[in-house]
Amino acid sequence: MVLSCLMGLSGLFAVIAGFTGLANGGGSIILPFGLPWLPMHLRLDALGSFFLLVIGALVLPVAIYSQGYLSHEKRLTPIAIFLPLFILGMMGVVLSDDAFTFMLFWELMSVSSYFLVTHEHQHPENRKAGFIYLLMAHMAGLLIMGSFATLYATSGSFEFSAMRDAQLSPLWASVAFLLAGFGFGTKAGVVPMHGWLPDAHPVAPSNVSALMSGIMLKVAIFGFIRITWDLMGSGDFQWWWGALVLAAGSSSAVSGVLMALQQHDLKRLLAYHSIENIGIILIGLGLAMLLAHFGHNTLAALGLIAALYHTINHALFKGLLFMGAGAVLHSTGSRNMEAMGGLIHRMPWTAAFFLVACISISALPPFNGFVSEWLTFQTALMAPQLGGALLTAIVPFSAAMLALAGALAATCFVKVFGVVFLGHARSDIASDAKEVDDWMLVGMAIPALCCLLLGVLPTVFIPILDHVPQLLLHTSLTSSSNGQAIDATQWLWLTPMNAAHASYSAPIILLGMLLLGGVAFWRLHPKGTIIRRSKMWSCGNPHTHARMQYNATSFSQPLRRIFAGLYQPDEHEHAERHQHALLTTRVKYVVHVGDMVVKHLYQPIGHVTLWIAKVIRHEHQRGIHAYLTYTFATVLLLLAVFV
Amino acid sequence: MSAPFAQQIIDGMAALTLLISFALLAQHRMLSVLNWFAAQGLLLAATAAVVAYSSGEYELYISAIMTFLLKGLLLPWMLWRVIRKLHVHREVEPIMNSGLTIMIAIAVTLFAFHVVQPIEVTSDLMTRNSMAIATACVLLSMLMMITRKKAITQVIGFLAVENSLFFAAIGATNGMPLVVEIGIAFDVLIAALIFGLFFFQIRNTFDSMEIDTLNASLIHKDEDE
């Protein structure tokens, strides 16, 4: 209880600090501890404030949710230690104002989340997932440190203010960009550095998965923006940086959702969707970087806003989805979608909140996912008009990828909601499920409400967000001085750039949907009509069985056919027959879709590493003559080199 | 003794030391290796005495006497005793054939001379020419450790490295401080005692004195499993 209270309070304060920081510009403080010659510099600027707001907006509901979720947890101590440290790490990263403090909090975040991932360490696969997570987190940390080292070499100081002033040569700027890109990309789960993510997210406790997927990946996005946009400066962008980010985003978006479609573990599926959404954020960022390079600062600001908007949206609905999955796990004890079904009758509130998140992530109006993806599309669609052969070539392609990812995501969540919540229970665990307690429901209600608010009132929220591009690009979307891209006074219509081009009014859409839905409902169910309930028609077969329902594997079968080249599914069919070839008694169909990147990239790297280790071990075990020879050769070499 | 004459003598002795290093490499019989090792110790003592006389650093006389007793008499005698007791006095059993070893040794010597050249230009000691030879001797002794199979030849190689370093110390700086030299001398003595003890133990445990057999029974055992 105390833990949840404190967590909730910290989340609340983070939200308040985030809002005030965005509105008033925040401030900075130098704490008197840290290294002897480098006290800790903390600063709250618009960028940090926004991410602090994102963190707080999810920590608060998760804290309330944890009160219910952890009520039956036996081993609370590790969670009580590492969960606050994890949150502290994330908040510290967004507040830090020197590289040392940044790395300190960054590693605090990585290491404490490792202990949370391996919370149920009695299962060997959890330990393996935790190990891979720790390994990749440390590689990411090393790359990020390399990026800071590059900046340090030019500026001569660990403080961000000095790094901002330093002028990097184009070559070193590219080195720093690549190191930061790969480092933060690994932590954010960008394809192909995503290998740890689908393993680590499902095995963590669900409240932790919500935080990891909802915020921790965003902290990596924050780090990337901090280094490339803030410390290196948007004026230094080279054209291929934006193109690279755009390509990484497009491939992550599509491959993430494609892999998600083939999962039947609910939390693993959500983990792959995190990869997809990180891809969408990166598409927005990449577009903004390209546009900033070509000097279209207003459009770049629009792209940046789209990316940031999707960041907070994803934090909210992915946090909500993981909390919903946690609620399902809590009452059924399983993550396997094939064992569920019909949960909407037993867990109506959870189902409702989960549906809100499903609609949001599928980018359908009137919820928030639509707004940010729509803004990303607007940015992408306006880019070609502004000329430049390169923009014309790349941008439509990634816009198409974004559209494909959006459609596939909708397919995927039709599958999730249909298989888990609709239909009949496929097993006893699903038919015995109970609605979760009020704490958890309240924890899910808050982000669901936020999803609706952010979806209906983007015109209120975007002016608040606008402080970030003001900081990074010195361009405002809302002020009338340079072009006035978005009219802040117009609360009803969201109009980026030009009313003739495109505009969107969420309140009107919502009103229209309510009217249309009401009329349809009234037409279908006039007052006084009794709804007739009877047994399902079973095509004349006397026996019906819950396993005859459409399930997760069969729903995704068409896509498995279409994208067979990408999936390379491992399918086995086995039929048992009784005396005659036509008298089939039992058919068994087993399919396994592995992650191609893991198979073709991670495993070879692992094999090569082991092979090198084996060779070195063999060298270690050579006789004394070999050692003497090494010594001799070393002496000769040192003499030759240094004398 | 005039300085150029002392210089001549020291250079001559250095040349002899180098010759003995080659001789150590080229020998096939264990006892002759030991004889040459003893000769190197005696030569070292003589060199120390000459340098002491010509430079007027009389502390070096003590060094010379210690070297004579320890490296010229005591260590060879101890190793001789070990060889007699263990009956290993036949062949040294080189890994490479001696022709190839000598070729490599010549190359290494040339390399040592090439490396030391910049030092000889800056030094003004009369023993400066011996630096290159001392370096070459160190490398040759190491080469001996690498190219021989038997444990005893490796110990002799190790002691020869120490001899060469001592020679380098005399050549480069007119000897180290006496305290240091006494310390090193005792270290070498203790090392030799321990080596001697180990030979007997190894013999008792593995019934062989060849490094490869030791490897086979100690290290490669777990690899085969």
pLDDT tens over chain B, length 225 residues: 566 787 788 888 888 989 999 998 888 888 888 899 999 999 989 988 888 888 777 788 888 888 898 888 888 888 888 888 877 656 767 777 778 888 999 999 998 888 887 776 776 655 566 788 888 999 999 888 888 877 778 888 888 888 888 888 887 776 677 777 777 777 887 887 777 777 777 666 655 666 666 666 555 444 443
Q: Among B115, B118, B142, whose Cβ lies nearest the Cβ of A632?
A: B142
Position A17 scores a pLDDT of 83
ipTM surpassing 0.85, yes or no?
no
- Cα-Cα-Cα-Cα dihedral sign, residues A87, A88, A94, A95: positive
**DSSP for chain B?**
--HHHHHHHHHHHHHHHHHHHHHHHH--BHHHHHHHHHHHHHHHHHHHHHHHHHH--THHHHHHHHHIIIIIIIHHHHHHHHHHHHT--SB--BSS-HHHHHHHHHHHHHHHHHHHHHHHHH---TTTTHHHHHHHHHHHHHHHHHHB-BHHHHHHHHHHHHHHHHHHHHHHHSS--HHHHHHHHHHHHHHHHHHHHHHHHHHHHHS--BHHHHHHHHTHHHHH-
Q: Give residue A523's Cα distance to chain centre.
A: 41
Residue B71 one-letter amino acid: K
Q: Calculate ∠ Cα B52-B47-B74, nearest 5°.
A: 110
Position B225 scores a pLDDT of 37
Q: Is A637 on the interface with B (CB under 8 A)?
A: no
Position B221 scores a pLDDT of 45
Task: Give the least confident one: A210-219, A248-257, A521-530.
Answer: A521-530
Instruction: Measure A135 CA to nearest chain B CA, in Å.
Output: 28
Looking at A33-98, list the stretches that DSSP marks H as alpha helix, in order from N- to C-terminal side.
46-69, 76-95
Looking at A422-556, list the stretches that DSSP marks H as alpha helix, in order from N- to C-terminal side.
428-431, 438-456, 458-465, 467-473, 506-524, 552-555
- Cα-Cα-Cα-Cα dihedral sign, residues A131, A135, A141, A144: negative
Residue pair B178/B58 in contact (Cβ under 8 Å)? The answer is no
| Cβ-Cβ contacts under 8 Å, A623 against chain B | 211-212, 215, 219
What distance in Å separates the CA atoms of residue A631 and residue A637, rounded to the nearest whole number? 10
Q: Is B26 on the interface with A (CB under 8 A)?
A: no
- Cα-Cα-Cα-Cα dihedral sign, residues A143, A146, A148, A151: negative
Q: Do B215 and A628 touch (CB under 8 A)?
A: no
Peptide bond into A198 cis (omega under 30): no
Q: Do A643 and B145 touch (CB under 8 A)?
A: no
Nearest CA to A274 out of A335, A337, A211, A352 is that of A211
What distance in Å separates the CA atoms of residue A439 and residue A214, rounded to the nearest whole number? 19
What distance in Å separates the CA atoms of residue A110 and residue A145, rounded to the nearest whole number? 14
- pLDDT tens-digit series, residues A475-525: 777 654 444 456 555 666 777 766 666 778 888 888 999 999 999 988 887
Residue B21 one-letter amino acid: S
Tell me the Cα Rg of chain B: 19
C-alpha separations of A328 from A54, A334, A434 in Å: 25, 8, 9
Which helix (H) or strand (E) covers residue A33, if one does?
Answer: strand A28-35
The torsion region of residue A364 among left (phi > 0), alpha (psi -120 to 50) and beta comes to beta
Q: Count how many domains chain B has.
A: 1
What distance in Å separates the CA atoms of residue A602 and residue A510, rounded to the nearest whole number? 46
Instruction: Measure B142 CA to nearest chain A CA, in Å.
Output: 7
Position A556 scores a pLDDT of 86
Look at residue A97 and give its three-state secondary structure: coil
Which helix (H) or strand (E) covers residue A34, if one does?
Answer: strand A28-35
Position A425 scores a pLDDT of 87
Residue A317 one-letter amino acid: F
Q: With pLDDT > 70 as the criterion, what percentage of chain A qualifies?
A: 95
Nearest CA to A277 out of A161, A181, A357, A391 is that of A357
Percent helix, percent strand, percent coil in chain A, to nearest 5: 70, 5, 25
Give mean pLDDT, residues A10-29. Answer: 82
Within 106-165 of B, beta carbons closer than 8 Å to A belong to: 108, 111-112, 115-116, 118-119, 135, 139, 142-143, 145-146, 154
- pLDDT tens-digit series, residues A204-238: 999 999 999 999 999 999 999 999 998 888 777 88
Q: Calculate ∠ Cα A505-A511-A513, nearest 5°.
A: 100
HEC profile of A384-421: HHHCCHHHHHHHHHHHHHHHHHHHHHHHHHHHHHHHHH
Nearest CA to A204 out of A248, A270, A108, A249 is that of A270
Which residue is associated with the tokens 């040392």? Answer: A100
Tell how many helices (H) and how many strands (E) occur in chain A.
28, 4
| Cβ-Cβ contacts under 8 Å, A642 against chain B | none
Instruction: Report which listed range, A97-101, A293-297, A555-559, is most confident.
Output: A97-101
Tokens of B166: 């001592």
Looking at A123-238, list the stretches that DSSP marks H as alpha helix, in order from N- to C-terminal side.
124-155, 160-165, 170-188, 197-203, 206-211, 217-225
Range of the domain at B211: 3-224
What distance in Å separates the CA atoms of residue A454 and residue A316, rounded to the nearest whole number? 10
Q: What is the mean pLDDT of chain A?
A: 87
Q: Do B116 and A643 touch (CB under 8 A)?
A: yes
State the helix-helix crossing angle for B151-173 and B130-147, rounded to 10 degrees: 170
What distance in Å separates the CA atoms of residue A458 and residue A496, rounded to the nearest whole number? 12
Task: Give the least confident one: A134-138, A267-271, A438-442, A598-602.
Answer: A598-602
Q: Is A615 on the interface with B (CB under 8 A)?
A: no
Residue A465 one-letter amino acid: L
Q: Is B211 on the interface with A (CB under 8 A)?
A: yes
Which residue is associated with the tokens 């190790």? Answer: B158
Q: Is A624 on the interface with B (CB under 8 A)?
A: yes
Which residue, among B109, B141, B142, would best test binding to A if mutated, counting the most A CBs under 10 Å from its CB?
Answer: B142
Torsion of CA A493, A498, A500, A502, to 10 degrees: -60
